[in-house]
Amino acid sequence: MHYIKQCVTINKQSEISVFSNFIIFVCTFDIFEEGRHIYTFENRCLQNPGLVLGDDTVKIILNTKGTMDDVTPELKRLLDYIDSSEPEDDYTRELEKEVESVKKDDKWRVSYMTLQMRYNEKYEEGMERGLAQGLEQGAHNEKCKSAIAMLQDGELSYEKIALYSGLTLEQVLEIEEDYASYTD
């Protein structure tokens, strides 16, 4: 959000244009069931629809099953091609040739698979790190709960609470300070 504010501020001050971002989804079903071929969304405030975020991000959902006359004939033929895989004009025939060419290109397939493997590795690394952090945080929370229970009991010194809970003396004192200010 900070980046967006900076872009908008720069744009207003020095007339530097912000590039529009388009996110395009192509669906072989009508997600909203309104019969449209195209649904276009912008970022607007829900409480004040006239207030636009100004990040120039447009989300477009194309639907191959649309029934309205709401797109150009060229786009309609492309959507029909995506839905049926039968080219009907020069553009979709050229597109079909490119798709077939890429499918046969072993170098491209290896590159794509390598990229997918890297994504999978990064995902697994992230999951492992997240799990390790979660376990570490859970163990720390349990130590804090133990320290709080011992502090509430009032029978042990701060040093013994630190020893028994596995926390440092500084952490126990910080918990005591936080707990005292919370109960006041």
Residue range 132-146: mean pLDDT, rounded: 94
**pLDDT at 2 exceeding the cut of 70:** no
Residue range 27-39: mean pLDDT, rounded: 95
Confidence at 137, pLDDT banded by 50, 70, 90: very high
Domain residue extents for the chain: 2-114, 115-183
Are 68 and 36 spatial neighbours (Cβ–Cβ below 8 Å)?
yes
First to last CA, the chain: 37
Strands 38-42 and 57-63: antiparallel
**Which of 7, 10, 9 minimizes the C-alpha distance to 20?**
7
Return the pLDDT at 28: 95
Residue range 55-63: mean pLDDT, rounded: 90
DSSP secondary structure string for all residues of 99-128 = HHHHHH-HHHHHHHHHHHHHHHHHHHHHHH
Query: Which carries the bigger pLDDT value, residue 106 or residue 182?
Result: 106
Are 73 and 91 spatial neighbours (Cβ–Cβ below 8 Å)?
no
Return the pLDDT at 184: 57
Residue type, 152: Q
Share of the chain above pLDDT 90, in %: 60
Q: What value, to the nearest 5°, has the Cα angle with vertex 27 and ends 96 and 101? A: 20
pLDDT in tens, 145-163: 999 999 999 999 999 999 9
Residue range 166-183: mean pLDDT, rounded: 86
Query: What gap in Å lies between CA 65 and CA 149, rounded to an integer?
Result: 62
Which contacts (CB < 8 Å, 24+ apart) does range 51-54 have?
A: 53/4, 54/4, 54/8, 54/11, 54/18
User: What is the rounded average pLDDT for all residues in the chain?
Assistant: 85
Question: From the CA atom positions of the chain, what is the Rg in Å?
Answer: 29
Query: Which carries the bigger pLDDT value, residue 110 or residue 15?
Result: 110
Return the pLDDT at 182: 67
Confidence at 85, pLDDT banded by 50, 70, 90: confident
Query: Which carries the bigger pLDDT value, residue 56 or residue 90?
Result: 90
**pLDDT at 37 exceeding the cut of 80:** yes
Consecutive H or E run containing 175: helix 169-183
Residue 132 to residues 57, 69, 115, 123, 142, Cα–Cα distance (Å): 36, 54, 26, 14, 15
Return the pLDDT at 15: 41
